[in-house]
Amino acid sequence: MLQAAFRDLHGPRLHGFCLLVALGDRPAAAAAAARAMAEATPHLAELRHPERAAAWLRSSAVPRIIGSGRRGDQEAQRRETLRALGVTDAAFDGLDALDPRERAAFVAAGIERLDPIDVETVLRMGAADARRLVGRARRRYLAAAAARIVREPLTEPTVGEAPPGGLTERVEMLAEQALGGAWSPR
C-alpha cells in the first residue's frame, strides 16, 4: 500500500520532469522514470519527506536520461509531447539549447522550484557548482527562447486574446516565466 501511495504521489511529476529533461523523448523519459521508481522501492521508509523523495527520484533518473543517447522520437513528435505539457515553441527551443544536465538543473530549479538543497541532490553536486550550472542553464535557455521570439512575427490576436506586446515586453515576459519572478528589467 505504501508503494502504491508513493507511486501515485511521485509518479506523474517524475514522468513530467523526465519528459522535460529528455526533451519530449517519450521512451527515454518513461524508462528513466520507471527505473527510478523501481530503485526507490527498497528505500520507501527513508523517502518519507515528499521534497527529499522527489529530489532522490530525479537524481536517480537524470543519469539514465543523459546516458540514453539519441532521442527516440522525431522533433515534431517531441514538440507535440511537450506541447501537451504547456511547452511553447520558444520554450522548446530554449530547452533544446541545453544539454540534459543543464535541462535537469533548469527544470528542477526554475520550473519545479525545488529547494536549493534538493537541486544539489538532483544534480549530485555541491551548492556552488549547482548554482553555477543553474545560472548557466537559465542564461542559455533565455538566449535561445528569446531568439525564437525574435524570429516569430507578431500576429494579430484572435478573439479573446490580449493583443501582443512589443518585442521588449515579450522578452521580459519570457524572462519572468523562466526565472520565476527572480528577474526584473529595472
Condensed to tens digits (0 to 9), the pLDDT of residues 14-23 reads 999 999 999 9
Condensed to tens digits (0 to 9), the pLDDT of residues 37-60 reads 998 876 766 777 778 889 999 999
Separation CA 117–CA 100 (nearest Å)? 20
**Which one has a higher pLDDT value, 2 or 160?**
2
Region 156-180: mean pLDDT is 52
Q: Which domains does the chain have, with CATH numbers?
A: 2-153 (1.20.140)
pLDDT at 9: 72
Q: Cell numbers 545560472 correspond to what residue?
A: 135
Per-residue pLDDT at 171 exceeds 60 = no
Condensed to tens digits (0 to 9), the pLDDT of residues 141-152 reads 999 998 888 776
pTM for the full model?
0.78
78 to 16, 18, 98, 153: CA distances (angstroms): 13, 13, 15, 23
What residues contact 58, with CB distance under 8 A and at least 6 apart?
A: 14, 17, 36, 104, 108, 121, 122
Contact 131, 52 (CB under 8 A): no
Predicted confidence band of residue 177 (pLDDT cuts 50, 70, 90): low
Per-residue pLDDT at 172 exceeds 70 = no
Per-residue pLDDT at 100 exceeds 80 = yes
